[in-house]
Copies of this chain bind each other. A is one copy, B any other.
């Protein structure tokens, strides 16, 4: 018989204190880096501005999961380890977003210019020579690399619990390698998907979300927090049984928002995933269920960067008419159900249980 969740106010108050500590840690870390960079040249400041801007805006999902993973494994309230590890996770996420936006040619991120766009704007505003786009891209590649290094520097600063040979370090390494592999599979599917067997497309899309998103965004952050607090294998396995289906549901929600989301709440243009040609589970299901004509129309529109709003609307209708939207929502429900019943089985106190349940619900129900 498990302990019931405590009232939301209890974990919300602790989580707010954690966020505060995390923000202070990120602020101090970035301020120190800014000072070192200023010693190189004042011209490097825009890289730091771009990183700070991006880091300021995150939802902190990964850091908060690592925190509750830590607490659920017996770690002390607001200890330094999960604060530093959370900073590392948020810096890693910022680095991934910077490179992701170059890869996807996304001009906006959370309603503001993406990093490569910031730099191409800086080029234009400064009256510099040669190509602003190319400069923007080069600067963003380097800013992402710098942010990746910062992430690792922050993780190493956790100290002994994250040292060489620990299971927290092993998970951190796996997280990085797997998300990059997953992102490659995502990009590969955009180009190879059209000529690969259609009957395996849903399976391929599910592999992509497992590595690109579920393991990265939920499973590994929770596991890293747990491992830092010395969680045993059984607890880490239990964490995965909750967080892996949760992360898949989280990404499926993202896929739905990428086609049907409201630009005002997502901060991304309408139908961005269609223009990108992303072969998500939603799209794979639609192609699978579509008749000949609808499939041709979809295949034709996918990856066309210049789709008009009317064409996006039309493709949305095509996707919905195949029943793929409904199937995806059903899949989200099934995965969420699986995640929450695994959460029920976890040996957690009411505080941690309540916090993980609230984070999980928000992840699968969100509109942005």
Contacts and interface: CB of A to CB of B under 8 A. Distances in A.
Nearest to A95: B145
A182 B40 contact: yes
B277 A142 contact: no
Contacts of A137: 103
Interface string A39-57: 0110110010000000000
Nearest to A159: B164
Contact of A128 (B103, B143, B159, B192): B192
Nearest to A150: B177
B164 A158 contact: yes
Q: Which size bracket describes the interface of A in this complex?
A: 35 or more
A118 to B, nearest CB: 13
Contact of A129 (B139, B180, B191): B191
A184 B128 contact: no
Nearest to A193: B129
A102 interface: yes
A209 to B, nearest CB: 13
Interface of A: 33, 36-37, 40-41, 43-44, 47, 95, 99, 102-103, 123, 126-130, 135, 137-139, 141-146, 148-150, 152-153, 156-160, 162-165, 169, 173-174, 176-178, 180-185, 187-188, 190-195, 207, 211, 277, 303
